[in-house]
Structure 1
Amino acid sequence: MRHSLKKPFACLSTAACALLFFASSCQNNSQNSASDGWEPLFNGKDLSGWKTMAGKAPYAVEGDAIVGTMTKGTPNSFLVTEQEYGDFILELEIKLEGSTTNSGVQIRSHFDAAANDGKGRVYGRQVDIDPTPRAWSGGIYDEGRREWLYPLDLNPDAKTAYKPNEYNKIRIEAIGDEMKTWINGVPAARLLDTVDNSGFIALQVHSIPDSLDGKKVYFKNINIQTKDLKPTEFPTNIYIVNTKANDLSSDEKAAGYSLLFNGTDTTGWRSARGGGFPASGWKIENGIISVQKSDGGESTNGGDIITDKQYQAFDLSFDFKLTPGANSGVKYFVTLNEETKGSAIGPEYQILDDKEHPDAKLGKDGNRTLASLYDLITSDRNPRPRKPIGEWNRGRIVVTPENKVTYYLNGYKMLEFVRGSEEFRKLVAGSKYKDWDKFGEAEQGHILLQDHGDAVSFRSIKIKEL
């Protein structure tokens, strides 16, 4: 396939790879035909092979494009392929009028006719087209189901790829469990997900406020490959969302990631109190490591557990699941040098049931709530990243060699700070950590899972040293 970047280009920068890929894509766009494996999904004349579903926004052919018209008072509307597809590579061009609306391309999607009081609902993964200042075009959303799987906060370099009020070239590769996206040749999102291995492709006109009534979305040059697929190389520095529990793909391994929890035993972990792993208070079952409920006190049962190894700069991600009213946390740069009767000392990614646990109302301005830097910096209060209690959430902590620290929750950026900066030290001076010398500034330290006496589960704990 002419679109694939071969391995000699793998060492190039993301920008260079994008330019090379875009040049190749532009050349191939004029050559797409059945002879080189591409087949058109739109014949350029009418909507043969397509049907409308869910909302009532109209679709028509204008010139060489399918045009959807935004229509007030109707839910999301879709133009759906009559055929279903499994593995494929899809390319198309999309243009939206305005900068306050939204569109997308559904892949491997389905229709629930009984949903919405019998009006029906399209559900499945969607490549988002987002001209708003958020700029998440190319991100991956699960329409009508799990919502955001790959927000572009995870790949901010791709946020500038979309061109407002112009045609944008979209490339989507769905091969096996892997999905990759590009916007105008710029790599955008990469997802490994076992949900749905086939389904229809659909074009979306989003529901709108009345002020956008009549604006249009244009789709053209819609071509697909379904045979002899060759995946395109993706830059190794772009974060991969892998929804498979305790799994590392070959590319994650090649990028330097390793599992801190292997899903079966306590290898690599020990008690923060010294000695081996706690004899009680923690449980490993079905690929999940859980702290058991006791009295709700801090480190009073099995106690905190820490990694055998210490880390300096790293990219750490972890899935966690709270029970009602629960409290826990993930700490890092834990040295064990401090004398404390409770939990070991270190900067903390707060894990909390904000609604039911009283700690959410303590501290300052919510700086003890979920995904906050505990007692220091409040996380972004946007409610959308927060999944309900009892569902799995994904936390992520990135610490660069320059000491910049960034927190994410389910792919959304929640906060950032610089360890050792004047601003950071001022925050520490006004916190419960004020009496600890150079709190949070250790050169290296252990990673810790906290026992706060509440039942909390963890899985898919993986790390890349930077």
Structure 2
Amino acid sequence: MKRLFALVVIICSATISNNLFAQNWISLFNGKDLTGWEQAAGTAKFSVQNGMIVGETVAGSPNSFLRTKNTYGNFVLELDAMLPDSTSNSGVQLRSHVNEAGRVYGYQYELDPSSRKWTGGLYDEARRDWLYPLSLNPDAQKAYMPAKFNHIKVECIGNEIKTWINGVPAAYVVDTMDKEGFIALQVHSIGNNSALAGEKVYFKNIRIQTKNIQSSPFHKAIYVVNNIPNYLCPYEKQWGWQLLFNGENSDGWRGAYKDHFPKTDWQIKDGMITVLASQGKEGGNGGDVVTDKQYSAFDLSFEFKLTPGANSGVKYFVTLTEHNEGSAIGLEYQVLDDALHPDAKLGRDGDRTLASLYDLIPAKKESRFVHPVGSWNTGRIVVYPNNHVEHYLNGIKVLEYDRGSDAFRALVAISKFKIWKNFGEAKQGHILLQDHGNEVSFRSIKIKTLQ
């Protein structure tokens, strides 16, 4: 019996070992010392304690990183991490680099124990700020376990980065900025706040797979931040996303109140659909353009680039039944240079500023999440089948409301839209890009119908 038991143990051990070998997992941390690692920036303390890498905050240091000596391109990374309290912050760098000033930059898996709950989101350290705030995936915000070890998984394969937190799909980014780089563990700066000195973050079970890797499926639909213009990845197509603008021509679009696309004052070039400047008047010279199709419940995403002082908008539930002068009537996601266009100071409480529901509800946004004029910003409008509506700007939800509710109708009653019966309550309507006589470009316009 003892011989049989020993044989079973040997077979089981060999099977486990062979499975790990077949999956090509490589341990990045030996549990004893920091072989294979080196500090890249900052003066925070890194040590090995009880089989874990421990990072410890110090006052007066910038963000500190313990990086791998090797660099990695395509890989699957898994590890466990713990932040003992909610006042600290950390992250795991992916495909990262060090600039001439000695500062670490690149993709970062966020570890955020605060009430914001963005663990699993993707940040671009020392470069573009947030790529995937976890406000884009509320279900994943529930997965983090405070003051416990959380299991992290990241896949970097080609242009796609996917993250998990405790087995829950978190972020999905398609991006072409970095093909390879080092992996690093972060101790976040505490500035000169000595009261926070000595806070710790723990890492263990760090392993990587670089050979024979395959993408793991997300078995549910989550929003994808896709930074390749006018492109849908296979996952987006799988879950029903469609391009409204193909980047090449005006297929699917026509002028409002017209049977053709405007012959003047609109330009399709270099993957952009651009309304040209024409003295800044509402309705412009070319006029608004609308989708051929109409939509009711949908998830709409679009990128836009403003010129200084520009004004435009993306309207929805546009019925074209009003036959009014100027811009066609509809609910409007305001697209505006808040700093230079006078409309930003009109209306009530800022309800004509960027990303607002024009003349009805102001967008609540922080300046750090607004990209400068001349850069691309991403807008998003979600209309659920129950008529709940959300506006997003660069991944951050800036407002929400319910179409047809008493609160909504009360706002309409004190707005410029009070003259239109049942304003904003149509069952379906066109999507509209506004010609307000200023140069504004759009691209990556994609939509998903919701059931």
Q: What band does the TM-score fall into relative to the shorter chain?
A: over 0.9
* SS of match in other structure, 1:275: coil
CA distance in 2, matches of 1:253, 1:49: 40
Q: Does 1:317 align with 2:304?
A: no
How far the C-alpha of 1:30 sits from its partner, in A, is 11
How far the C-alpha of 1:311 sits from its partner, in A, is 0.6
**2:160 corresponds to which letter in structure 1?**
E
Q: Does 1:248 align with 2:232?
A: yes
* SS of match in other structure, 1:52: strand
1:91-240 alignment runs, 5 A limit: 91-114=78-101, 120-209=102-191, 210=193, 211-240=195-224
* SS of match in other structure, 1:85: coil
Query: More deviation in 235-244 or 428-437?
Result: 235-244
How far the C-alpha of 1:237 sits from its partner, in A, is 1.5
How far the C-alpha of 1:235 sits from its partner, in A, is 2.8
Identity over aligned pairs, percent: 61
TM-score (norm 1): 0.91
* SS of match in other structure, 1:84: coil
How far the C-alpha of 1:263 sits from its partner, in A, is 0.4
How far the C-alpha of 1:29 sits from its partner, in A, is 11
Deviation sequence 1:373-423 (CA, Å, 0-9, x none): 001011113112200000000000010111111111111111111100011
Q: Larger radius of gyration, structure 1 or 2?
A: 2
Which of 362, 370, 374 is matched with 2:354 structurally? Answer: 370
Q: Relative to 1, partners in 2 of residues 1:30 and 1:145: Cα closer, same or farther, differing over 3 Å?
A: farther
* SS of match in other structure, 1:283: strand
TM-score (norm 2): 0.94
**Structure 1 portions without partners, runs of 5+:** 1-27, 115-119
Which of 61, 76, 82 is matched with 2:69 structurally? Answer: 82
**2:300 corresponds to which letter in structure 1?**
L
CA distance in 1, matches of 2:16, 2:122: 24
CA contact (8 A) 2:23 2:209 kept: no
* SS of match in other structure, 1:342: coil
**1:178 corresponds to which letter in structure 2?**
E
* SS of match in other structure, 2:71: strand
Deviation sequence 1:264-296 (CA, Å, 0-9, x none): 101000000312111101001110110001111
CA distance in 2, matches of 1:71, 1:367: 44
CA contact (8 A) 1:91 1:224 kept: yes
Partner of 1:117: none
CA distance in 2, matches of 1:346, 1:143: 39
CA distance in 2, matches of 1:263, 1:277: 15
How many residues get paired? 434
CA distance in 2, matches of 1:341, 1:141: 45
Partner of 1:417: 401
CA distance in 2, matches of 1:250, 1:230: 14
CA distance in 2, matches of 1:294, 1:107: 45
CA contact (8 A) 2:280 2:438 kept: yes
Q: Does 1:386 align with 2:373?
A: no
CA contact (8 A) 2:88 2:199 kept: no
**Structure 2 portions without partners, runs of 5+:** 1-14
CA contact (8 A) 1:32 1:38 kept: no
**2:143 corresponds to which letter in structure 1?**
A
**1:40 corresponds to which letter in structure 2?**
S
Two-structure CA RMSD over aligned residues (Å):
1.4
How far the C-alpha of 1:101 sits from its partner, in A, is 2.1
* SS of match in other structure, 1:83: coil
CA distance in 2, matches of 1:34, 1:62: 28
How far the C-alpha of 1:301 sits from its partner, in A, is 1.0
Q: Does 1:53 align with 2:40?
A: yes
CA contact (8 A) 1:273 1:303 kept: no
CA distance in 1, matches of 2:372, 2:17: 48
CA distance in 2, matches of 1:426, 1:360: 22
CA distance in 1, matches of 2:18, 2:330: 58
CA distance in 1, matches of 2:286, 2:135: 36
CA distance in 2, matches of 1:29, 1:147: 41
CA distance in 2, matches of 1:411, 1:191: 12
CA contact (8 A) 1:368 1:378 kept: yes
CA contact (8 A) 2:391 2:397 kept: yes
Which of 54, 69, 82 is matched with 2:56 structurally? Answer: 69
Which of 380, 405, 425 is matched with 1:396 structurally? Answer: 380
Q: Relative to 1, partners in 2 of residues 1:66 and 1:440: Cα closer, same or farther, differing over 3 Å?
A: same
How far the C-alpha of 1:31 sits from its partner, in A, is 9.6
CA distance in 1, matches of 2:434, 2:18: 57
CA contact (8 A) 2:380 2:391 kept: yes
1:331-342 alignment runs, 5 A limit: 331-342=315-326
Q: Does 1:264 align with 2:248?
A: yes
Query: More deviation in 202-211 or 301-310?
Result: 202-211
